[in-house]
């Protein structure tokens, strides 16, 4: 079994020697860091999907869909 350590200010601490509450806090820290990595992966995937979807939408752009703004003389006042 490998020793689980927590490093703070260049000092390694044996997690198994922490109080039960300290060990639970460490477990939650590990879970939180895993969540962060998972969410970072989801962001990368979502960004890649957005890029691909922009390209897909652009395939369907037509001259007919162009919006032109007509300036009304009354709007210039």
Summarised one tens digit per residue, pLDDT across range 28-72 is 999 999 999 999 999 999 999 999 999 999 999 999 999 998 767
3-state secondary structure of 7: strand
Grade residue 74 by pLDDT with cuts at 50, 70 and 90.
Answer: low
**Of the candidates 32, 29, 31, 37, the residue with the CA atom closest to the CA atom of residue 8:** 29
Is residue 15 within 8 Å of residue 26, measured between CB atoms? Answer: yes
Q: Where are the beta strands (DSSP E) in 1-70?
A: 5-8, 11-14
pTM for this entry: 0.67
18 contacts: CB under 8 Å, gap ≥ 6: 6, 26
């Amino acid at each position: 079994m490998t020793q689980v350590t927590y490093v703070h200010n260049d000092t390694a601490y044996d997690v198994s020697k922490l109080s039960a509450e300290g060990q639970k806090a460490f477990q939650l820290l590990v879970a939180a860091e895993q969540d962060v990595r998972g969410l970072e992966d989801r962001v990368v995937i979502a960004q890649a999907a957005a890029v691909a979807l922009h390209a897909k939408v652009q395939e369907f752009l037509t001259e007919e869909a162009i919006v032109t703004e007509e300036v009304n003389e009354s709007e210039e006042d």
